[in-house]
Amino acid sequence: MDLTNVKKVFICGIGGIGTSAMAKFFLSRGLDVVGSDLVKTEITEELERRGVKIYYEHKESNVTYAVDLFVYSAAVAFDNPEMKKAKEQHIPLKSYYEIIGELSRDYNTIAVSGTNGKSTTTAMIASILIDAGKDPTVIVGSRFEKLDANFRDGQSDLFVVESCEYRAHMLLLRPRTIVLTNIEADHLDFYKDLNHIVQTFQQYVGGLKSENDLLVYNNDDLNIRKLNLPKCRMARFGFVPGADALAENVRKLPGKQIFDVVYYGQNIGEFELKIPGDINIYNALAASAYCLTLNIPIGVIKQCLKEFKGIWRRFEIIKNEEIAVISDYAHHPTAVSATIKATREFMPGRRVVAVFQPHQRARTKKLFNEFVKSFDLVDVVVLPEIYDVAGREETGQQISSKDLAAALKTENPKKEIVYAQDLAEAVDKVKLLIKPEDIVLVMGAGDVYKIVNEI
């Protein structure tokens, strides 16, 4: 990416997990960074401590002629006043994903893709590469301890990044390695149906054209099996025999899970994770399968995964005393169900109170029946009102968390199902419902994570 003539960058929607990482990338290149967002958060406050000027209102006057590049988040509407001013001043405009796409051409890029597990798998791969001395550059859609929050400026040619399928943004990247976790129906405000999603992933993996390119994929995933795979190197992972990196003899224990890995027919030993759920075994297999292609020592991979504590809002244990409080980003039915199951396995014998904030009305409506089936293993459900995503909501989506609560009550008449009109009411409801030894599992991709400290 040519930044020769760029001295000052304006980032519209700078508080996003991806755009904030991009701000750190530009700072690492010595550029002056300014930005805007509607809400002050711990992410924007961290950037301000680094010297970034942030406006908390979108206004034309925020953008001056001194700006050489205008970068915008996918959440920003095209009628945004700052974007309009940048166009008037003929400042080059690029989306966050266009910048990622350009960076992917400058590096040996490892793009982690799929409906669920992207952030954790990205973090696992980054952790192993760092421990192995590979010194990667990393952008991850969360925060974890081995990185400088959500970004790492490495000195090698390796670039590890999440590649999001939203609005087919992944097609902007040119990776040399794709790690594909799974394919499910999601983002149905953009995609027509699951077939449309599979077709888009087909186009994406088709970009691996060299025999030196690598596709690491979940061999158990039925939708991935629908793809016509490119003629490049392959590494398959999964639980079902036939995978190149195969999990066997899985033991679920309180506070950890242990499994053997069979790699191309050879048992390479026992792996341990301190984070729960089959989804995280899949993530660990994906990370291991990739890193083994680099001939990273098995012992380094095992130790790194054993020490891996997870990432922000991915089964993040906020407190585990008389009452446990866990924060998780789960917002797709499969992820919700898997997180609840993992909670049962990790902390057996305790009552689970799930607080779930649906994310986006279109997703809630189009996956409604799947959401209803996701809460079978919990004892109590508290449903705050749906989180509206600015710039991504379709008009006329008449649906509420109240509808989901009613359907859940019909499906589970003996369970306590509670609707809350906002987060403040959700906290009040939780405080009334919880008992000693309960687990409060707070899930959602919106702002529901803010209530965990209040609980």
pLDDT of residue 8: 97
pLDDT of residue 391: 55
The CATH label, of 1.10.40.30, 3.30.420.10, 3.40.1190.10, 3.30.70.930, for the domain at 107-307 is: 3.40.1190.10
Quick one: pLDDT band at residue 390, thresholds 50, 70, 90? low
pLDDT of residue 210: 92
Quick one: pLDDT band at residue 283, thresholds 50, 70, 90? very high
- The pLDDT of 18-42, averaged and rounded, is 93
Q: How many CA atoms lie within 13 A of 266 on its CB side?
A: 3
Quick one: pLDDT band at residue 76, thresholds 50, 70, 90? confident
Structure tokens at 248: 């066997």
DSSP 121-162: HHHHHHHHHHHTT---EEE-SS--TTSBTTEE--SSSEEEEE
CB 50 within 8 A of CB 21: no
- Evaluate if residue 211 carries a pLDDT over 80: yes
Tens-digit pLDDT profile for residues 304-313: 999 998 777 7
pLDDT of residue 362: 85
pLDDT of residue 198: 95
pLDDT of residue 393: 52
Query: Which residues touch 74 (CB under 8 Å, ≥6 apart)?
Result: 95, 96, 97, 166, 167, 169, 391
Domain 8-95 has CATH 3.40.250.10: no
Q: In the chain, where are the structural domains located?
A: 8-95, 107-307, 316-451
Classify domain 316-451 by CATH architecture.
Answer: Alpha-Beta Complex (3.90)
Pairwise CA distance, residues 33 & 27, whole Å? 7
184-198, 285-299, 339-353: the lowest-pLDDT one: 184-198
Quick one: pLDDT band at residue 353, thresholds 50, 70, 90? very high
- Evaluate if residue 21 carries a pLDDT over 60: yes
Q: Hey, do 107-307 and 316-451 end up sharing a CATH topology, with the first three levels equal?
A: no
pLDDT of residue 186: 79
pLDDT of residue 202: 97
- Evaluate if residue 363 carries a pLDDT over 90: no
**SS3 helix, strand, coil % of the chain, rounded to 5?**
35, 25, 40
DSSP summary character for residue 238: E
- The pLDDT of 41-52, averaged and rounded, is 92
Pairwise CA distance, residues 14 & 20, whole Å? 5
Question: With b meaning 16 or more CB within 10 Å and e meaning fewer, what string describes 225-254?
Answer: eebeebebeebbbbbeeebbbbbeeeebee
Tens-digit pLDDT profile for residues 395-440: 556 899 999 999 999 988 889 999 999 999 999 999 999 999 999 9
